Amino acid sequence: MKESDLCEEVKKWLESDESSKWLAVIDNLTHTDQSALDVFSAEKGTLVVTTRQEDFSRMLRARQLDYANMTAEEARMAFHNLSSIDIDDRTVDGSDIVKLLSLLDHFPLAVSLAASFIRETKTPVAEYLEMLQRSLPDYIKLSQDQTLRFELKDPPTATVIAAWDISFRRIKRDRPSAASLLQLMSMLDAHDIPVDLLHFKPTTEIGCEKGSKFDGAIAVLQSFSLVSTYKEHKYHVHDVVAAWTRKQMGDKSEHFAQLALSLIEEAISDQNSPKFVDYLPHGDAVLLHTTKFTKLVQRRMAFQSKLAGILCQAGRHSKAIELIKDCIEYYEATKKDGLENAECSYQLALIEETQKNYGEAITWHLKAKDGFVQNLGQSHLRTLGALTHLASVSELRGDYLNALQNYEQALAWAKTAPKPSDSFLIDTIHSIALVYDGQGRYPQALEFFDRALSGSIQTVGAAHPNTLAIQNNRAISLRKQGLYSDALSAFKEVAAGYAQLLGSAHPAALNVAGNIALIDDIQGRHTLALQAYTHILSQKETHPALGEDSLSALATRANLALLQSKLARHDDAVTSARRVLEGYTATLGPDHPSTLDAVANLALILDAAGDVQAAKSHYAHACWRQAMQLGLSHPATLATLSNFAAFSARLGAWAEAVELQEQVLAGYREAFGDAHVFTLRAERELARFLGGCGRWEEALGVLERLAAGYKAERKGEGKGKSEEYEAVKREIKDVKAKMKEAAAAGGSAAWRG
């Protein structure tokens, strides 16, 4: 489950009656993500946050409780505990301790640094006090440093800086590797530094390789209170210590920045590591602390781009997008609008795709494509990949025209390569076939399906999964055209291939089984179809690669719902159809073609169940959105319009039914021609609706033209006097009788046939 989805589910539960009153505590908060913290926004609960970051209270719009510096007595007790000086020791002048603590402003960090130094070095309190007083004037001005004020909400006082400096100088003199380790740790996130992160190869460069050398160095830092242990196997460096350590590196800053970058690059290279998530905040910190080093910019940008990809895979898309856009801004600002910029644009486009931000994805794919063309050429696979992704996103939006143009462009460019990739050419031809099929332009679709199928057989063989996939999609196109016998034969051939190659329980095999069941359903073998749908749905919902909310399972449930409606199992049908609509909406969005099909199917099922108002609302919504997204001549739009027309006729709204059916007939003529079975059936329905309005002459004219059409040879339906032709002849006879009846009565007679 994605992080955003998980947060949403937790938020819903906390807001529900089921959760009752709750208390959540976040201890030592160091980073904030407002969207994640919004999880705890329910009024019925309480969130308590402890943090060293004072500005978080404003960000969280929360009441703030401050904890001030220690009192004189608290500071005295802490000093004695940390310094190991007995409180009753008469050899130590108590007034020196009081002066020292007063000079340190009773600040906890300053007290701990001073006490730890005195304990570890056996320095008398009076001597330390003198050292501190001597160095203070030098640090008063440094404590006003603007960079520190920018980094820290509460900049360090001069006494804290002086206490740090006294300790750090001694460590650097006596244990240089420990001083270097602190400098490296200051380049990371100061909070929650996993011990494992400090065991990677770059630490060997400072003499702190894993083992006794590292253990000794970290022990020194802990003994001087510069590093503390936080939780198990994690270290913590106070923000002030980390910031001042970075500030005092001088000309060694770039060296330690580069070392930290090497460390984090190695750490996140293994995305399967159980510690991987713990390393990600340190990647952000390294990026922040390496910003000012111009020699590291190119390497930093490469790492930032890689980190963005990793964050995307971890479901942290917002942060990934932020990092990639930062890279793109850098490349554009520095006029380095080359291959790196194109790669970042392509990466950003793919992330936007996963978030279903298709408009943004298209924008970035176009930019990536142009960059790849400029730097690699039109026929390079990187260019072609961006172009086909651009086409597929357009197809997802229902923009078939642009999808087709981009696929055809990719095909043309691929053919100009010195050694064109056969697999790319076949895949692109197959994609073009699917776009034509989605448009309802079936003759063109079959042409490209046949080309793709022939090429795949020649390249990888008839039994290869790619070949079977093309054959399956070709069979679906045949089914859409009403060529059921041809489609069923092809489906059975594909099913046998998948069963032998992958097994009958494989998702691809289950999909083909569903296609066979759909033809049984269409041709009236309802019992057989019901058994098949139920079995297939059970297999898909329990399959580890699919599940209840997978698009594949939703498609099978949609077909099951329509069959349940035919069998008058209306409650089951409505429940199934609503579940399908919810699933498609959540996964694909409200205006995706599959979602709109689900709306249209629910309308049909509600109509059969007798819920007239709900059915009418869903019919109207589906017709309008399908017309806008797919066009008036798209088969899906025409099927919904046809069902809406029949629905209107059953309500006695004959004029409305005629208006709708005329659009259906015009659309089928444009898509398939006058002689296609779909066009002829649409014309027959129009005649019935015209008769319902009492427009007998027009109805008779339509039926007579229809009878002539049924006499013509029609592909897949045979010749001559079909059942439809005989039915039309009976309807012509009935219309003539109604016309005579109306003439004799001096009025009109309605046709309900």
DSSP H helices, 567-592, are 570-588
How many beta carbons lie within 10 A of that of residue 220, not counting itself? Answer: 21
Q: How confident is the model at residue 714 (pLDDT cuts 50, 70, 90)?
A: very low
Name residue, tokens 């289950």.
510
What is the residue type of 299?
R
Name residue, tokens 């001549």.
633
How does DSSP classify residue 70? P
Please give the C-alpha separations between residue 151 and each of 51, 186, 247, 288, in angstroms, as whole numbers: 16, 13, 11, 11
Q: For the chain, how are helix, strand and coil distributed in percent, rounded to 5? A: 75, 5, 25
> Residue 66 pLDDT more than 50?
no
Q: Token pair of 478, please?
A: 């045949």
> Residue 716 pLDDT more than 50?
no
> Residue 80 pLDDT more than 80?
yes
Q: What are residue 717's phi and psi, to 5 degrees?
A: -120, 0
Of the two residues 383 and 668, the one the predictor is more confident about is 383
Please state which of the ranges 1-15, 446-460, 536-550 shows the lowest mean pLDDT: 1-15
CB 101 within 8 A of CB 72: yes
Q: What are residue 143's phi and psi, to 5 degrees?
A: -70, -15
Query: Does domain 631-753 sit in CATH 3.40.50.720?
Result: no
> Residue 544 pLDDT more than 70?
yes
CB 471 within 8 A of CB 453: yes
> Residue 272 pLDDT more than 70?
no
Q: What pLDDT, on the 0 to 100 scale, is given for residue 753?
A: 45
For the chain, how big is the Rg over CA atoms in Å?
37
> Residue 512 pLDDT more than 60?
yes
CB 525 within 8 A of CB 506: no
> Residue 30 pLDDT more than 60?
no
Q: What pLDDT, on the 0 to 100 scale, is given for residue 715?
A: 41
Of the two residues 677 and 383, the one the predictor is more confident about is 383
Cα distance between residue 603 and residue 147, in whole Å: 64
Cα distance between residue 437 and residue 480, in whole Å: 9
Please state which of the ranges 151-165, 245-259, 602-616 shows the lowest mean pLDDT: 151-165
Q: How confident is the model at residue 633 (pLDDT cuts 50, 70, 90)?
A: confident
- Pairing outcome for strands 234-236 and 193-194: antiparallel
What is the residue type of 488?
L
Please state which of the ranges 103-112, 152-161, 505-514 shows the lowest mean pLDDT: 152-161
Give the 3-state DSSP-derived string for 138-168, with helices as H, strands as E and coil as C.
Answer: HHHHHCCCHHHHHHCCCCCCHHHHHHHHHHH
Pick from 352, 325, 362, 318: which is nearest to 341 by CA?
325
Name residue, tokens 């006879």.
733
Q: What pLDDT, on the 0 to 100 scale, is given for residue 710?
A: 64
Cα distance between residue 621 and residue 615, in whole Å: 10
Q: What pLDDT, on the 0 to 100 scale, is given for residue 65?
A: 45
CB 2 within 8 A of CB 315: yes
pLDDT tens digits, 204-234: 888 887 888 888 999 999 999 899 886 667 8
pLDDT tens digits, 131-145: 988 888 777 766 565
CB 345 within 8 A of CB 367: yes
- Write down the pTM of the prediction: 0.63
> Residue 152 pLDDT more than 60?
no
CB 57 within 8 A of CB 63: yes
Q: What pLDDT, on the 0 to 100 scale, is given for residue 713?
A: 47
Q: CA 98, 99, 101 angle in degrees (round to 5)? A: 65
CB 199 within 8 A of CB 150: no
Of the two residues 439 and 398, the one the predictor is more confident about is 439
What is the residue type of 720?
G
CB 465 within 8 A of CB 477: no
Report the Cα–Cα distance between both ends of the chain, in Å, rounded: 54
Pick from 222, 281, 236, 181: which is nearest to 52 by CA?
236
Q: Token pair of 606, please?
A: 């509600």
CB 583 within 8 A of CB 554: yes
Q: How confident is the model at residue 446 (pLDDT cuts 50, 70, 90)?
A: very high
> Residue 31 pLDDT more than 70?
no
Q: What pLDDT, on the 0 to 100 scale, is given for residue 680?
A: 80
Q: Hey, which bits of 64-156 come out as E strands?
A: none
Domains of the chain by residue range? 3-56, 72-174, 631-753
Q: CA 293, 297, 298 angle in degrees (round to 5)? A: 155
